Amino acid sequence: MGKEKPGFMTAKAIGNRIKSKGLQKLRWYCQMCQKQCRDENGFKCHCMSESHQRQLLLAGEKPGAFNNFFSDEFFKDFMQTLKTSFGTKRVQNNVVYNEYISHKEHIHMNATRWYTLTAFTKWLGREGHCKVDETEKGWFIQYIDRDPRVLARQKELEKQKARERDDEERHAKVIEEMVKRGQEAEASSSSREFTELKRDDEDEKVAFNLTAPTIPETKVSSDGKNSFKKMNQLGSKRKQAGTLEKSVKKKKSALDEIMTAEEVKKKVSQRTENWLTPETVVKVTTKRLGEKYYKKKAVVKEVNNKFTAVVKMLDSGDKIKLDQMHVETVIPALGRKVIVVNGGYRNAVAIMESVDIKKFSATIKIVEGPLSGRIVENVKYEDISKKHEAT
């Protein structure tokens, strides 16, 4: 009568599971039967078993089929690990391979058509699955994401960066022209020569005619004369006020132009690739987690390494860890609060004032902080996200 197996929660069963957890010696692993042996004796007994002999007969009939099967499985699992763990970042191939073999139930490379990791890396580059380059530190690979939504978003980001570069160059030219005009004015003023007032004859007197020009008189009544004088005085005052107002407006417009250029330059310089911000509502855009979370909203609870966040689903309350590429910002209704997640007003809390659907932008009013009350126009959708309000 055979020995009864220990229960699932007994100490012996738990010990056996701990021993079998993780990778063991690759030397005592049978890829054909997908069985891990703990020592040489166990592996020898397995090779003499009937099940192993049967698998060898099947493999001998169709050796290419088994090799292709293991190669396809290795490629799929390797690419899935690269995609989920590293995304589109450039990473060394050994790092990805170590992450892949950390799972116990993986396909060993010696069962595939590739004999070395370098050969497999070169094959990925030739087939166009990854961007491959060789450096002094070794081979590096980068995953190419061909998801249409991701490609469309990348194109939109590239267009936005091009627009920002154009705006920055235009404002730089405006400031450069102002500087040139200032230098020219300074040069012209410095080129003037002021001479001392000298007289040929010391006894000669210098006279200045300071009489005001006379206005030709017309034959009108005394009341008419008084009203005419008042009209002249009022007209001269209005003319002086208009001249002063024009000069003030001219100076003010130049100052505003410089301030606007500096503010735009500041906004452009403060833009970063990471935008994840705590207490903002985001939408999950990846299907890797299943339909349960796809297109569902969540609130960002914690941000790690700038591009990774721990989010809490609003409908189920589940907490999951997602990359920045797998979520997008949420635009609330008018009058609701938002948080600026990128640009010069980062982390500012504001209220939605209006939305421009054609330009994919919005107008917001900052309601908290030292800039409270300021209205900011043409804020892109990806630079703001709905603020989570506890119910």
247-306 pLDDT, tens digit each? 444 444 555 666 666 665 555 557 788 899 999 999 999 888 888 888 999 999 999 888
Give the separation between CA 191 and CA 185, rounded to whole angstroms.
Answer: 10
| Between 195 and 154, the higher pLDDT residue | 154
Distance CA 160, CA 358 (A): 14
Contact 130, 137 (CB under 8 A): no
User: Does the pLDDT of residue 359 top 80, yes or no?
Assistant: yes
Kindly provide the residue ranges of all beta strands, DSSP E only, lying in the chain, ordered along the sequence: 29-30, 35-36, 90-92, 130-135, 138-143, 281-284, 297-304, 308-313, 319-323, 327-329, 337-340, 349-356, 361-366, 375-380, 384-386
159-186 average pLDDT score:
82
Q: In the structure encoding, which two tokens stand for residue 73, read together?
A: 């499985």
pLDDT level of residue 195 (50, 70, 90 thresholds)? low
What is 281-386's CATH number?
Answer: 2.30.30.30
- 106-160: pLDDT as tens digits: 777 877 888 888 999 999 888 888 889 988 888 999 888 777 776 677 778 888 8
- Domain 19-143 sits in CATH at 1.10.10.2030
Whether the per-residue pLDDT at 240 is higher than 90: the answer is no
* 353 close to 375: Cβ distance less than 8 angstroms: yes
pLDDT at 189: 66
Lowest mean pLDDT among 89-93, 214-218, 231-235, 279-283: 214-218
Task: Give per-residue pLDDT as tens, 367-376.
Answer: 987 788 889 8
Question: Domain limits of the chain?
Answer: 19-143, 281-386
For residue 320, the cross-strand partners are 311
pLDDT at 92 over 80: yes
